[in-house]
Amino acid sequence: MKIFSKLKSSVSYVIKIIREDLSKRMKKNSQKISVDSKRNVSEIVQKALFASPTTSSLLSGKLKDDFGLTNNIANTAVNNIIKAISENIELKIISSNNGSLVSTVIIQLLPSDIKKLVSVGGASFPSTRGQVDWLEWLLTRGSQIVVGDFWLYPKARGKTRSGGTSIMVEIGQTPRQPFRVDPAHAGTIDDNFITRALEPFYNDILIAVADSTRKNI
């Protein structure tokens, strides 16, 4: 029993020393870990957002038509959205008070203030009836009605703003469904096409951060 107790005590001491050493290394190399992690995570974020069905729809599908986006506005907005997220990743390394942990790595992918994201270039455009804040609608309004006195007429002839076949028409006397974002793409602050695009890649992001940490300590 004495031998076992002595061995157990020695192992605990060795583990304690290893954790303390790792914690010091992480603190010393936190800047390198952060830079390397952000670069790798940024690539994953870009890949995830470009692969999103909503991104495709904004560039050349139903959403582009529904919102009346020109090619220039759609391309500008999509690139600015992806840039705003992939280039503004926040990563913090915090020394842990938990004896079983070396440090805690906290990574934030989305801006804490949604207003910064919905104000990127291309997120809105002027129309004859006022500003069309389409990105804010897409990311925050869910299935709410956003334009109460207009509906989407699906068989427009001639040239439309988006180059598609839908156009907003005043409802008038005939009962119609007021305009709202397509439910297949609609989102709220906490659940939108960006969060849905990134979710399948969370494990890849964790692995990327772990690899960067291991490489730089």
Q: Is the dihedral of CA 103, 104, 109, 110 positive or negative?
A: negative
Are the C-beta atoms of residues 103 and 93 closer than 8 Å to each other?
yes
Structural domain boundaries, residue 18:
2-215
pLDDT higher than threshold 90 for residue 149 = no
Rg (CA), the chain: 25
Are the C-beta atoms of residues 104 and 93 closer than 8 Å to each other?
yes
Mean pLDDT over all residues of the chain?
A: 85
Is residue 192 classed exposed, middle or buried when 0-12, 13-18 and 19+ CB atoms within 10 A define those classes? buried
pLDDT higher than threshold 90 for residue 14 = no
| pLDDT at residue 28, as a whole number | 83
| pLDDT at residue 200, as a whole number | 95
Are the C-beta atoms of residues 164 and 198 closer than 8 Å to each other?
no
**Number of domains present in the structure of the chain:** 1
| pLDDT at residue 102, as a whole number | 62
